[in-house]
């Protein structure tokens, strides 16, 4: 914990936004910029969706990467399932391509585009090759399309079931189409069927996507083709005078019957405008959980876009589990909990507590039926490969220590204990620390397992299981076994490094960055992973030579890009300054990364990671940051002069700033409900029933 001492924050005045008058109040949903994050490696999806919706209909393009789309390429068609912000692709199925004339070749119907509009609730574009305007709006499991044909010629619609992103858009992912079926019922003007696929991030086992489609325009002919095992499509022809085609698509991972039911319940005969309005209203309600004052229009757009991305994944597929019948929630496409436990889920604790409890009930349900609950769960399939530790534990612990309701704590605790006793690497369980055995990522596994143990120890203590609380708390100190005081880098001593079971150290360069699924560290280096001791920062500071040495190390590491703030293991690193009584430096480096690495034009520092990056931006902008898995938040000067966080229980957290002069840029004190705090920390229990946090600034 941070020592209790009086403190001053220094901030960068240019990053503290001052009031700007606005002539009209734009809806929050319309402040979201879906073009943010479709560039570079952010891999966000440009198509609309509902909060945690099961589907995400969106355009796809050649070279579309893992989100399926890049802005400077022609449009190939519209798929119904996508994953947002991930580092590896999946889905993209049930592709619709409206055409004048017809081609079923994968690259035979690409069209340049114009007049593109993208919002959370509606997307439209003109396909210039055909003169077709395409519009779409989402429900939770369905998409409703309207295609307006303006050119003379044969109006057609391609339904491609073999197409998928891992095979056809991002082939480095190595996807497969394994077969499927299309059925046409001319009496109801409908099509239905399924496709089976493999490939993409997660389990290599096959999965199916079922669809039901109704067409609200007269169809002249449907021709189904499956001439070889790699192809399955339907050509839907319309009369020559057709100008408008309405298409409704229901998607299920369980059955055609489910897909049909979703169509009937969620769309019925509603017009596209009605579906669009309902989707907009839901996003308006969701985004209004946080209101901000001050800031330019661009700054507000960036904030609400980041908040939007925090509500995208995982997918709520309750009732659509293809593997077992259950009345419990079913949260799918955890792309990995390694990302989302750090910021996404703590943000949901504040904004949508029921989503957190639903997630944990889904974890419990998976554990009771499968006997495991791994961090990666895609297409309703568990995957036993881990990027980090057993980080489901951290989400559960974060909820329990913050007194989140709506799930059985004893059942959740049984899952935690099973992971502690069975899911950690056998070497870790046997020795109580993670040795180097020639397997992958031993150092990063060891650091993250130690924190998993700490999180479970907290829960054990709260549930009065003193024996497990003691043993797991003791094992949570195992990271010290990997701390090599003789390992040097850039004038600093003491770094985490690989150690054999006999105690022999393996010499490494602490500054070397490692990639994914390699030796020693996962997506990081020893400079960064040495700092991952969320439960033991004070002990780490001691081992590194004290506060002044740690301040020097952190400053050097950030200034020389040895500590990566653009990936999840580095999220907490700037807050170690606060443990060294220099919260001003926490603010300095957080402000730098927020202003230099997040933008509407360039997107996120790297993969958006299913809400992890968006939630990081939201938290640091309002002046709170969680030490996820524990019951407190760090405080730092907010980017906006006033924020109001509306919790699901109706209570509000008000975050205010007071300046005698607009240029005042140093925090003199922070008050909680009018009383001064003596450290830059606030506990969840002090916020749960509403609170006011006030930052009082003074001049330098």
Read off the pLDDT of residues 249-263 as tens digits, 9 standing for 90 and up: 999 999 999 999 999
Low-confidence winner among 7-16, 239-248, 319-328, 413-422 (lowest mean pLDDT)? 7-16
Read off the pLDDT of residues 446-481 as tens digits, 9 standing for 90 and up: 999 999 999 999 999 999 999 999 999 999 999 999
* Cα dihedral value 249, 271, 48, 206, nearest 10: -10
144 token code pair: 């409703």
The CA distance from 645 to 292, in Å, is 9
Average pLDDT, the chain: 94
Return the bridge partners of 382, or none: 377
pLDDT at residue 307, rounded to an integer: 99
Answer yes or no: is pLDDT of 388 > 50: yes
Answer yes or no: is pLDDT of 371 > 70: yes
pLDDT at residue 24, rounded to an integer: 57
* 162 confidence band (pLDDT: 50, 70, 90): very high
**Residue 513 contacts by C-beta under 8 Å, 6 or more apart in sequence?**
524, 525, 564
DSSP string, 643-677: EEEE-TTS-EEEEEEE-SSTT--EEEEEEETTEE-
* 22 confidence band (pLDDT: 50, 70, 90): very low
Alpha helix locations (H) across 402-465? 409-418, 426-431, 442-462
Read off the pLDDT of residues 168-209 as tens digits, 9 standing for 90 and up: 999 999 999 999 999 999 999 999 999 999 998 889 999 999
In the 8-state DSSP scheme, what is residue 437?
-
The CA distance from 249 to 534, in Å, is 46
Domains delineated in the chain = 32-286 (2.70.98.10), 290-686 (1.20.1610.10)
Return the bridge partners of 146, or none: 135, 246
Strands (E), 584-631: 624-626
pLDDT at residue 153, rounded to an integer: 82
Read off the pLDDT of residues 67-81 as tens digits, 9 standing for 90 and up: 999 999 999 999 999
pLDDT at residue 471, rounded to an integer: 98
pLDDT at residue 699, rounded to an integer: 81
* In contact, 309 and 611? CB cutoff 8 Å: yes
* In contact, 114 and 96? CB cutoff 8 Å: no
pLDDT at residue 39, rounded to an integer: 85
Specify the 3-state DSSP secondary structure of 512. Answer: coil
587 token code pair: 């603010």
Instruction: Summarize the confidence of residues 420-441 as an average pLDDT.
Output: 95
Radius of gyration of the chain (CA): 26
* 511 confidence band (pLDDT: 50, 70, 90): very high
Answer yes or no: is pLDDT of 2 > 80: no
Instruction: Summarize the confidence of residues 84-108 as an average pLDDT.
Output: 95
pLDDT at residue 7, rounded to an integer: 36
Instruction: Summarize the confidence of residues 103-124 as an average pLDDT.
Output: 98
- With CA atoms as reference, report the closest residue to 292 among 20, 517, 109, 69: 20
Answer yes or no: is pLDDT of 5 > 70: no
* 665 confidence band (pLDDT: 50, 70, 90): confident
* In contact, 626 and 394? CB cutoff 8 Å: no
The CA distance from 114 to 111, in Å, is 10
> pLDDT above 90 covers what percent of the chain?
89
Higher pLDDT, 19 or 521: 521
Answer yes or no: is pLDDT of 23 > 70: no
> pLDDT above 70 covers what percent of the chain?
96
Answer yes or no: is pLDDT of 10 > 70: no
pLDDT at residue 9, rounded to an integer: 39
């Amino acid at each position: 914990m941070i020592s209790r001492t009086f403190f001053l924050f220094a901030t960068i005045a240019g990053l503290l936004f001052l009031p700007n008058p606005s002539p009209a109040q734009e809806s929050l949903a319309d402040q979201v910029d879906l073009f943010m994050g479709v560039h570079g490696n952010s891999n966000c999806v440009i198509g609309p969706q509902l909060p945690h919706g099961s589907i995400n209909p969106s355009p796809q393009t050649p070279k579309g990467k893992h989100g399926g789309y890049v802005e400077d390429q022609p449009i190939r068609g519209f798929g119904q399932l996508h994953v947002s912000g991930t580092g590896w692709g999946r889905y993209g199925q049930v592709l619709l391509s409206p055409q004048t004339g017809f081609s079923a070749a994968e690259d035979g119907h690409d069209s340049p585009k114009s007049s593109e509009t993208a919002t959370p609730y509606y997307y439209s574009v003109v396909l210039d090759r055909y003169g077709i305007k395409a519009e779409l709006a989402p429900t939770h499991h369905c998409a409703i399309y309207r295609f307006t044909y303006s050119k003379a010629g044969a109006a057609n619609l391609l339904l491609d079931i073999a197409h998928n992103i891992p095979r056809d858009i991002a082939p480095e992912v190595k996807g497969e189409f394994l077969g499927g079926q299309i059925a046409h019922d001319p009496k109801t003007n409908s099509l239905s069927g399924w496709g089976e696929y493999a490939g993409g991030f997660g389990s290599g086992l096959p999965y199916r996507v079922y669809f039901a489609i109704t067409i609200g325009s007269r169809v002249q002919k449907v021709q189904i083709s499956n001439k070889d095992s790699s192809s399955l499509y339907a050509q839907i022809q319309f009369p020559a005078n057709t100008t408008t085609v309405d298409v409704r698509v229901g998607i299920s991972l369980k059955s055609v019957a489910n897909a049909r039911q979703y169509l009937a319940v969620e769309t019925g005969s509603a017009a596209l405008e009605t579906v669009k309005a309902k989707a907009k209203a839901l996003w308006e309600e969701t985004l209004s959980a946080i209101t901000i004052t001050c800031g330019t229009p661009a700054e507000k757009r960036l904030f609400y876009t980041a908040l939007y991305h925090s509500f995208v994944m995982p997918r709520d597929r309750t009732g659509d589990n293809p593997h077992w019948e259950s009345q419990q929630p079913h949260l799918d496409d955890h792309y990995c909990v390694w990302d989302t436990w750090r910021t996404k889920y703590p943000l949901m604790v504040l904004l949508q507590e029921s989503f957190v409890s639903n997630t944990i009930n889904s974890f419990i349900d998976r554990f009771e039926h499968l006997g495991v609950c791994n961090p990666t769960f895609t297409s309703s399939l568990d995957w036993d490969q881990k990027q980090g530790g057993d980080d489901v534990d951290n989400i559960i612990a974060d909820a329990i220590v913050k007194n989140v309701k709506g799930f059985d704590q004893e059942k959740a605790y049984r899952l935690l204990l099973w992971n502690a006793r069975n899911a950690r690497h056998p070497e870790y369980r046997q020795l109580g620390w993670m040795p180097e055995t020639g397997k992958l990522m031993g150092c990063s596994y060891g650091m993250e397992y130690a924190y998993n143990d700490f999180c479970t120890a907290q829960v054990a203590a709260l549930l009065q299981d003193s024996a497990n609380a003691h043993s797991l708390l003791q094992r949570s100190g195992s990271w010290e076994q990997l701390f090599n005081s003789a390992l040097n880098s850039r004038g600093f001593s003491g770094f985490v490094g690989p150690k054999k079971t006999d105690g022999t150290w393996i010499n490494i360069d602490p500054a070397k960055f490692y990639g994914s699924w390699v030796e020693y560290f996962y997506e990081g280096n020893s400079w960064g992973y040495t700092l991952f001791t969320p439960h033991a920062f004070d002990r780490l500071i001691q081992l590194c030579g004290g506060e002044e040495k740690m301040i020097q190390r952190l400053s050097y590491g950030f200034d020389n890009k040895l500590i990566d703030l653009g990936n999840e293991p580095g999220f907490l690193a700037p807050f170690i300054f606060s443990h060294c009584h220099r919260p001003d430096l926490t603010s300095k480096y957080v402000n730098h990364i927020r202003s230099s690495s997040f933008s509407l034009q360039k997107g996120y520092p790297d993969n958006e990671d299913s809400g992890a990056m968006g939630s990081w931006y939201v938290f640091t902008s309002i002046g709170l940051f969680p030490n996820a898995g524990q019951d407190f938040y760090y405080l730092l000067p907010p980017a906006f002069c006033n924020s109001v966080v509306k919790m699901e229980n109706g209570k509000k957290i008000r975050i205010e700033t007071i300046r005698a002069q607009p240029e005042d840029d140093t925090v003199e004190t922070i008050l909680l409900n009018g009383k001064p705090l003596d450290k830059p920390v606030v506990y969840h229990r002090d916020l749960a029933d509403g609170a006011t946090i006030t930052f009082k600034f003074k001049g330098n």
